[in-house]
Structure 1
Amino acid sequence: MITIKHNHEDGTLVYGTVKGDGVYDIIRKWENGGFKFFPSLRMIGLRNSRDRIADRWAINAAAKALREAEFEVTVEIDDEHRDRAQVLEDKADRLDDRRDALESRAERHAGKAAAAHERANQIGERFAGGQPILVGHHSERGARRDQARMHQAMRTSIAEDKEAQSAAGRANAVGNQMRRSATPAVTARRIKTAESELRKIQKSLDGYKRRHLDHKGKPYYTEIHEPAKGDYREMQLSRKAQLENQLEYDRAQLAAAVEAGTFVEWSKHNVHVGDLVTYWMRDRRRRVVKVNTVTVSVESGYSWPDKVKFTDILAVECPHSEDGPAVTATNRPAKKAPAEPKFEVPTIDVEKLKAAAQTLSNMTVGADREAFVSPPAVVEQMMELADIQRSMTVLEPSAGTGNIAAAVVDAGAIVDCVEIDNGFMEVLASRVPGASLLYRHDFLETDTAQLGTYDRVVMNPPFSEGRDIAHVTHALQFVKPGGRLVAVMGAGVSFHKVKVAVEFRQLVEDRGGEIIPLPEDAFKTSGTTVRTVIVVIPC
């Protein structure tokens, strides 16, 4: 048995149905009533049907469609209205519940956003040091996997943050309309609207005639409307009783506002021709030329007057006072009901996440570049050996993603960087905004005419096939007399017997430099186990 019930406390709901029985598929259609499913109630019903006259068309259409589908259906309609004060009290309670639910939802999404953000940061620690993805290297697979996980965590964080902020905004908006509807000015307009509807209802209940006039003003057809009958009459009677109850409540509220002096009810009894009225958010102040039933006509500055409703008037300046001076009566705004404290949830820095994702996309090169960035411990040791002082000039050739350059800037020195890869240059520019010059060149093709000389040269060049020796030897020309070069190099320079390695060791010795071995796993976090040393060459 399917029962469609309507009363003013619960609205229109459907009882006796279960999931999958086909009832909802039938009555959800517009032609069958347009019923909706309410997740909070776990029931089917009509939207906005609480404390309203039953929508008999929708109810009867649903009942008819269900009977045609061989369902047994009963309809129960109770259109007895509730007291206006009780209606508003229940509505306020529902709004409180809704605000609480939205706040909980916002907090839930904010928690998920924060967790995803933290997860992205944790995964991105391997990229935070600036180590790029080396295509073709054995570390590529793991790096790609971590990059994908980081991107997914970022997207989740951004999406959850958007949901959290949306729910928080909706929570803060709950009740605003209800508070506004309780203001005296809105109440006065609602009274006028209700009185007009009551007159139409009474006209429908009594029946009426409507004459149609020709161009000479003579009637040529009379349209006769019989008094309302059947369900329609019942609906009109129920609506009339509901409006009368609403008017009684609203008139009492408005009378209290008038008595308290927070509202003046303007009409043709206290607005006269010649008065100055203020309206439209206090932007307009015009003289009255005619007083009508529901409006006043005011000077417009043109050949026609403007019309202003009495309910839109904010102030009246009357020069007709018998006591002599002009009298100004003002619609002082009533004190607003205290709003709920603004609810806020933490905001994720979306732009920072997007920038991080863009940085990752620029950190991919071929394995032949040997772009193994200097780990923090190695950089710290290099800075100590370089003895960089504030305001010194420093060059970092083959700067990569800028780990060394960042340390130089932190030491208060001025750093110039040379890097051939455009992607790395963009990463370098974002990670080390203090770098003063960025050259997109192959370092081996640069000279002092382009760059000048520096107090220090600190570098981590490519190692294979003796390229580290070639880079370091070339870099010596950029060191000022009395300066110093500090470089990370492959450990082979300290023991290989090939001519270029032997000559390089002799160069270091002749200049009073030293070769300092690093731990075997010094570059493990950068994806390589190659053994390395730090070479210091004074000039």
Structure 2
Amino acid sequence: MEGDNYYVHNQETGKLNVYTTKAFYDGLADDQKKIFSRFCLWSRVQGCWISKGKAEGCYYLREQIKALGFVNKGEVGERITFDEQVARTQERAEYRAERAEHRADKAEQKSDQLYNTAQKMASVIPFGQPILVGHHSEQRDRNYRNRIHNTFGKAFEELDKGKHYREKAATAKETAEGKKYSNPEYLTNRIKECQKHLRILDRRLNGKLYPNSPEQEISEQARQFYNNRIAEENEKLEFFKGKMKAINPAWCEPSVSTRKIKGKKNTL
């Protein structure tokens, strides 16, 4: 049904939630399905597609799903601070780590069971006993040895699966513990990134595309958008600066870099 195809701007995540039905999705052509798989991720929890990027940058995705008949139903949820976003990300990562650890334990346990089973099966065959070609037991012996081989193979597959989930758990744990927020290099890069974004947004707010561009009038909608983005970037900047000062109380915010353009000093 047409009313089942719509999208909303999730204020909490800052992303687009795209809702549709399985019947509608299955009826799409392959190139149309790729729009979703390329720009979105499916969430079983929320029962919808979630944009990979922030809603503000999903212009192409919006246009494509509008062409498919999707309706914009506005915004849902309430905007949360960057600090709260980080806390929620860490909370979800902790859950992912626990789930991955559980799956790793199950895979390793199953691997041990299969390996022990294969060893017991192999112990029945005397060491060095060949297949008696032409004997009435030849085919049965071959089948039995194949089952041993396959059981060993399944054991190693489960072992690899366990390693895979251990690695996922380790990555999720790092996110949950916020290890990157104690890395000075990471924090320095994020601070510089925020400062760069703020300079660009400030220019956009003044109607300037480039540093030396003439100022132009912008719409009230654009002004509100840039002001909101500036507030978000300032939140992030203060968060990263706070983390940096926590690990290095003597840290001072670097001065804004400058460069010469046509003989003049211009702030980047």
> Which TM-score band (shorter chain)?
0.7 to 0.9
Structure number, greater radius of gyration? 1
Aligned position for 2:206: 206
Q: Is the alpha carbon distance of 1:129 and 1:254 closer, same or farther for their aligned partners in structure 2, counting shifts above 3 Å? A: closer
Aligned position for 1:96: 94
Aligned position for 1:191: 191
Q: Is the alpha carbon distance of 1:135 and 1:23 closer, same or farther for their aligned partners in structure 2, counting shifts above 3 Å? A: closer
Aligned position for 1:84: 82
Which structure 2 residues correspond to residues 446-525 of structure 1 after superposition, within 5 A?
Answer: none
Mapped contact 1:112–1:157 kept (Cα < 8 A): yes
Structure 1: 5+ residue stretches without partners? 212-221, 269-292, 296-539
Deviation for aligned residue 1:39:
4.1
Q: Relative to total residues, which structure has the larger helix share, 1 or 2?
A: 2
Aligned position for 1:164: 162
Q: Is the alpha carbon distance of 1:119 and 1:257 closer, same or farther for their aligned partners in structure 2, counting shifts above 3 Å? A: closer
Residue from 35, 38, 54 that aligns with 2:43 = 38
Residue from 237, 255, 260 that aligns with 1:247 = 237
Per-residue CA distance 1:202-234 (angstroms, 9 max, x = gap): 1011023769xxxxxxxxxx8546344476555
Structure 2 residue 16 is matched with structure 1 residue 18: no
Aligned position for 1:444: none
Structure 2: 5+ residue stretches without partners? 259-268
Separation of aligned partners in 1, 2:90 and 2:210: 43
Residue from 115, 118, 129 that aligns with 2:116 = 118
Deviation for aligned residue 1:58:
4.0
Mapped contact 2:107–2:162 kept (Cα < 8 A): yes
Separation of aligned partners in 2, 1:65 and 1:167: 40
Q: Which amino acid in the other structure matches residue 146 of structure 2?
A: A
Structure 2 residue 63 is matched with structure 1 residue 61: yes
Deviation for aligned residue 1:198:
0.4
Report sequence identity in percent.
Answer: 20
Q: Which amino acid in the other structure matches residue 16 of structure 2?
A: T
Mapped contact 2:198–2:230 kept (Cα < 8 A): yes
Deviation for aligned residue 1:130:
3.1
Q: Is the alpha carbon distance of 1:63 and 1:89 closer, same or farther for their aligned partners in structure 2, counting shifts above 3 Å? A: same
Aligned position for 1:4: 7
Question: Would you say how many aligned residue pairs link Structure 1 and Structure 2?
Answer: 250
Three-state SS of the structure 1 residue aligned to 2:239 is helix
Deviation for aligned residue 1:5:
1.4
Q: Is the alpha carbon distance of 1:206 and 1:175 closer, same or farther for their aligned partners in structure 2, counting shifts above 3 Å? A: farther
Aligned position for 1:304: none
Three-state SS of the structure 1 residue aligned to 2:125 is helix
Mapped contact 1:194–1:243 kept (Cα < 8 A): yes
Residue from 117, 126, 151 that aligns with 1:153 = 151
Per-residue CA distance 1:373-432 (angstroms, 9 max, x = gap): xxxxxxxxxxxxxxxxxxxxxxxxxxxxxxxxxxxxxxxxxxxxxxxxxxxxxxxxxxxx
Bigger relative CO (Cα 8 Å, ≥ 6 apart):
2
Mapped contact 2:203–2:209 kept (Cα < 8 A): no
Q: Which amino acid in the other structure matches residue 96 of structure 1?
A: E
Three-state SS of the structure 1 residue aligned to 2:146 is helix
Three-state SS of the structure 2 residue aligned to 1:109 is helix
Q: Which amino acid in the other structure matches residue 25 of structure 2?
A: G
Separation of aligned partners in 2, 1:209 and 1:58: 21
Q: Which amino acid in the other structure matches residue 207 of structure 2?
A: G
Q: Is the alpha carbon distance of 1:39 and 1:176 closer, same or farther for their aligned partners in structure 2, counting shifts above 3 Å? A: same
Three-state SS of the structure 2 residue aligned to 1:254 is helix
Which structure 2 residues correspond to residues 84-483 of structure 1 after superposition, within 5 A?
Answer: 84-176=82-174, 178-208=178-208, 224=214, 226-229=216-219, 234-259=224-249, 263-265=250-252, 294=257
- TM-score normalised by length of structure 1: 0.41
Mapped contact 2:206–2:215 kept (Cα < 8 A): no
Q: Which amino acid in the other structure matches residue 9 of structure 1?
A: E
Three-state SS of the structure 1 residue aligned to 2:39 is coil
Three-state SS of the structure 1 residue aligned to 2:132 is strand
